[in-house]
Amino acid sequence: MVQFVNDQDPNEDTREEFPHESVFEAQLEEINVRLTPRKDGKGDNQWVDFWFRITGSDLGEQFIGRRVKGSAFGSLKAQAGDFGRFNRWSAALLGKEEIELGYHLDTDDLIGLTATIMIVQKPDRRDPARTWPEVEEVVSNTAPTSAPAGGGNPWASQSPSWGQGPAGDPPF
């Protein structure tokens, strides 16, 4: 037997739209994994849907309590030297700079953790005049637990006075 629940908010049509590229504090409430067939027919791609609930906003209380989704390809591996969303978002929720090689991640451990999220308005594929709010990026609320000096940026200044001169310019 399949069960369905009507979870539509009665105020859904009258709620204010999220401003494009708006930033909120949020708590991860749910993670779903879904499979989509690969274009080459060799198995399935795994996607992870992150469902966040807005817990804080500088834009007003009308956004508090609303849910928003972001999706990521379900892989912790780096692609062309760049860690994908799943790795970055999971690391941000855990307060890490990245998920280290060999780390065993259980998505249940992410539920209830908080982060700062950026929401964008994505056009509907069928009707580009209509948009949907979607999580574009997730950033840690805490300092990374595995960050090397300079925050992992090899170009970061080690001098505390850099950028604090009269013009705030770099020392070169």
How far is the CA of 74 from the CAs of 77, 89, 116, 130, in angstroms?
A: 9, 11, 21, 27
Return d(Cα 56, Cα 46) in angstroms, integer: 31
Domain extents in the chain: 14-144
> What phi, psi does 95 have (nearest 5°)?
75, 25
Query: Worst-scoring range by mean pLDDT, 11-15, 20-24, 134-138?
Result: 11-15
pTM of the model: 0.71
CA 142 vs. chain centroid, Å, equals 15
Structure confidence by residue, pLDDT tens digits, 125-170: 899 888 899 999 999 987 655 544 444 443 333 333 444 444 444 4
